[in-house]
Structure 1
Amino acid sequence: MPATSFDAIIIGSGQAGNPLATALAEAGRRVALIEENRLGGSCINYGCSPTKTLLATAERLHQLRTAAAVAAPEIPNAAQLTVDLAAAVARKDDIIGKMRKGIRANLTQKHDVTLLEGHAAFTGPHALLVTLANGSTKDVTAPLIFINTGTRAAIPDISGLADSGYLSTTQLLDLKELPEHLIILGGGYIGLEFSQMFRRFGSRVTIVEAGPQLLEREDDDVCQGLQAALGQEGIEFVMGARAHGVSRGPSGSITVSVTTSAGERRLRGSHLLVATGRTPNSDKLGLGFAGVKTDDKGYILVDNNLRTNVRGIYALGDIHPGPQFTHLSYDDYRVVRDALLHGRKRSARQRPLPYCVFTDPPMARIGLSEGQAQEQKMPYRVATMPVSVIGRAQQTSETRGFWKVLVGNDDRLLGATLLGPEAGEIMAIIEVAMAGRLKYQQLQEMIFAHPTWAEGLNNVFRELKRVGK
């Protein structure tokens, strides 16, 4: 049977692939989208959407337990409240299921996108063999092919881990019974969000981190502040610990053997979550048949416009090197859309990088951290303000954390790191100011509604201190 030809083929229905498919279809292109797993990619199925849904459940439980702190009536046995995990997961599944249905309808009903559900592999630079869910195959070709296949959990090479019955983040999201003691390998943002979630659900939680601090790319004071806040809720940390063995005992408990500066330790828990990073889903795409190059980790190499080394083949989202965030994947779509449909080229590397860690308190950053400014030998002034001085913090009793802002010699913002309530929303204000090249004085003198968290921007710049020349 001859191959079916399209104007464009998109492999993967993540946060870059879906909007690109509909944009190309609206422009009159004949488009096919191939998805091997669930529509929506990582964000909707096992990333942002499900985790933030369950984090909301955990936050509500925490509010009930701590209601007395704001002079609410004492709730009987509030401290012993635990989650009905099966009900929380059912709520999450319902929300995610509706999202997936919406994506399907948008692709196939609102837009005339051909949806092929199966596995795609290259047979040539512009040819693919699709093995469909029913076992049949289909040959497809297109002059434009976009790879948006994302990543999966990276599993470290630890003796006994494969046989221990460990959990990936995807599996943990579907767990119906509450772990008695959850051990988490990895102190990155994924591990931190899950740690607080399950601690508030009622589990004992221990984080094992190989490095000397959490969130290795953040400043020491930020990591220490976040660790202290999580520690106050009973989350345990074993830092500078390299796991070298995992075993499951006859009773079902899991033992993780780690090496620390103080010697060997054995940690015993009921469940083990591996959150030690991600690996790209590029190994089964047949990239060699297309001649597409990857780096030594399997990420597809692209130029500033997200083009691979093969003409007409692009890579978008987490499959190429760089930070892995949904909002950057969506911006990858905009970079490609503007270049192909609007004649406007923009570098995918010259763009701001805002991001948040959705713990409580949350952490958010835009622009340079203080450590990065020092590494680049960039002169700057820095001001740090505790959240507790903000009126809104005092009214809500949410006083943990601090704001740190960096200002250059020209009085314009270089970056900000915020640890505290509504950190992501305040970061967005700072990002807009940076995009508009406002000077810090314009934020300092701006009229913000009272009493809001944003009012802190009137005060945070008062104690700017010069660092560097």
Structure 2
Amino acid sequence: ERILTWTQLYNLSELPKHLIVVGSGVTGAEFAGAYHALGTEVTLVSSRDRVLPGEDADAAELIEDVFRTRGMHVMSKSRAKAAAVVGEGEDKHVEVTLEDGRVVTGSHVLMAVGSVPNTQDIGLEEVGINTSPSGHVVTDKVSRTSVNGVYAAGDCTGVFPLASVAAMQGRIAVAHALGDTVRPIKLRSVAANIFTAPEIATVGYTQEQLEKLDMRYTITKLPLRVNPRAKMMGARAGFVKLFSRTESGTVVGGVIVAPRASELIYPITLAVSHRLTVDDVADAFTVYPSLTGSIAEVARMGHQITEG
């Protein structure tokens, strides 16, 4: 009733007075932001240096700043050790004990520390379907398992835990099963979104991945506050960032932090999927004023002047 998973949180009949969120990944950040916006006091307990440790560093830093500015309690480098319900009646509450001995008190706690695939005891071993050490169903790029005629799609495959990826895996599986021509799933062009406020949308290579590759790349970035439509909306927190190959200008990734970034990422997804250059993106007309204007503008910033 008070120590909850994210699915159990939906069963609450009234808002928690003080919600402690353990875990600062996507799930933790989304629920922390949502409940704080609804008027609940929220304490976000993060074991890492910052919230959203697996995401773009600039985007994560901005969201953490927004959380703190709006009055959320963010506890960085604070690993939770235990959670317990204490007291009786009106005095009943939860206590989250941290590894350093500190105790955080609230009315409810959300354990947002990840999940495991629910693939045990459903007959996979009996028919010979291979699973990974983590329990995920092993598939190839057209969603086939190790057993002929059996396909798998969704979070159980361990590819990306995104509804859009699950749907694409399913479409590919059906097409392949029917003998239709299929294109293997391209993880490089998967767009993802974090539904905080503002939203964080990403596609293609991350900056961390690019730093590990033997590739010369260019970063162009534009803050949202200079966009005229954003000014009209009163939206100041956010930015548009593009990653492109230095020599060719080919767009290889992008990050958008903005209201409804999930709607804005699509042009960059097209650019990554079809290997468009920053000049290709910049030469396309955008409506004025519009948030998409920043996408074209940040692409213009990546233009390389050629002689001759």
Q: Is 1:311 aligned to residue 151 of structure 2?
A: no
Q: CA deviation at 1:462?
A: 4.5
Q: Is 1:441 aligned to residue 248 of structure 2?
A: no
2:220–2:299 CA contact under 8 A, matched in 1: yes
- Matched residue SS, 2:102: strand
1:339–1:346 CA contact under 8 A, matched in 2: no
Residues 429-461 of structure 1 show CA distances to partners (whole Å, capped at 9, x for unaligned) of: 111222233221122232211111111123213
Between 276-285 and 427-436, report the one with greater CA deviation: 427-436
CA distance in 2, matches of 1:285, 1:360: 39
Residues 18-69 of structure 1 show CA distances to partners (whole Å, capped at 9, x for unaligned) of: xxxxxxxxxxxxxxxxxxxxxxxxxxxxxxxxxxxxxxxxxxxxxxxxxxxx
| Count of paired positions | 300
* Closer/same/farther in 2, CA of residues 441 and 348 from structure 1, 3 Å limit: closer
CA distance in 1, matches of 2:188, 2:7: 30
Q: Is 1:370 aligned to residue 210 of structure 2?
A: no
2:268 alignment partner, one of 415, 420, 430: 430
What is the match of residue 195 of structure 2?
358
**Cα RMSD between the aligned structures?**
1.8
CA distance in 2, matches of 1:395, 1:410: 36
What is the match of residue 11 of structure 2?
174
* Identity in percent: 27
TM alignment of 1:35-54, pairs within 5 A: none
2:93 alignment partner, one of 250, 253, 260: 253
What is the match of residue 62 of structure 2?
225
Q: CA deviation at 1:245?
A: 1.9
2:93–2:108 CA contact under 8 A, matched in 1: yes
TM alignment of 1:385-424, pairs within 5 A: 385-408=222-245, 409-424=247-262
1:381–1:465 CA contact under 8 A, matched in 2: no
What is the match of residue 142 of structure 1?
none
Highest RCO, 1 vs 2 (Cα 8 Å, sep ≥ 6): 1
1:218–1:371 CA contact under 8 A, matched in 2: no
What is the match of residue 105 of structure 2?
268
CA distance in 2, matches of 1:458, 1:245: 49
CA distance in 2, matches of 1:458, 1:321: 34
Residues 122-177 of structure 1 show CA distances to partners (whole Å, capped at 9, x for unaligned) of: xxxxxxxxxxxxxxxxxxxxxxxxxxxxxxxxxxxxxxxxxx84111111112111
* Closer/same/farther in 2, CA of residues 215 and 245 from structure 1, 3 Å limit: same
Letter of the aligned partner of 2:41 in structure 1?
R
* Closer/same/farther in 2, CA of residues 241 and 424 from structure 1, 3 Å limit: same
* Closer/same/farther in 2, CA of residues 447 and 339 from structure 1, 3 Å limit: same
Residues 274-327 of structure 1 show CA distances to partners (whole Å, capped at 9, x for unaligned) of: 111121111120322112221112111112222222222221111112210000
What is the match of residue 130 of structure 1?
none
- Matched residue SS, 2:292: helix
Letter of the aligned partner of 2:286 in structure 1?
F
Q: CA deviation at 1:349?
A: 4.9
1:208 alignment partner, one of 45, 63, 71: 45
- Matched residue SS, 2:171: helix
1:291 alignment partner, one of 128, 145, 156: 128
What is the match of residue 50 of structure 1?
none
Q: TM-score, normalised by structure 2?
A: 0.92
* Closer/same/farther in 2, CA of residues 211 and 181 from structure 1, 3 Å limit: same
2:250–2:275 CA contact under 8 A, matched in 1: yes
Q: CA deviation at 1:401?
A: 1.2
1:460 alignment partner, one of 272, 294, 298: 298
Q: CA deviation at 1:214?
A: 2.0
Letter of the aligned partner of 1:252 in structure 2?
K
Letter of the aligned partner of 1:229 in structure 2?
V
CA distance in 1, matches of 2:57, 2:293: 26
Residues 320-372 of structure 1 show CA distances to partners (whole Å, capped at 9, x for unaligned) of: 12210000000011111221224313323555210111111110001011111
Letter of the aligned partner of 2:130 in structure 1?
K
1:382–1:406 CA contact under 8 A, matched in 2: yes
Letter of the aligned partner of 1:456 in structure 2?
S
- Matched residue SS, 1:459: helix
Q: Is 1:332 aligned to residue 176 of structure 2?
A: no
- Matched residue SS, 1:405: strand
CA distance in 2, matches of 1:379, 1:422: 31
CA distance in 1, matches of 2:227, 2:19: 35
CA distance in 1, matches of 2:296, 2:140: 41
CA distance in 2, matches of 1:443, 1:210: 39
What is the match of residue 11 of structure 1?
none
Letter of the aligned partner of 1:460 in structure 2?
V
Q: TM-score, normalised by structure 1?
A: 0.61
CA distance in 1, matches of 2:47, 2:38: 26
- Matched residue SS, 1:193: helix
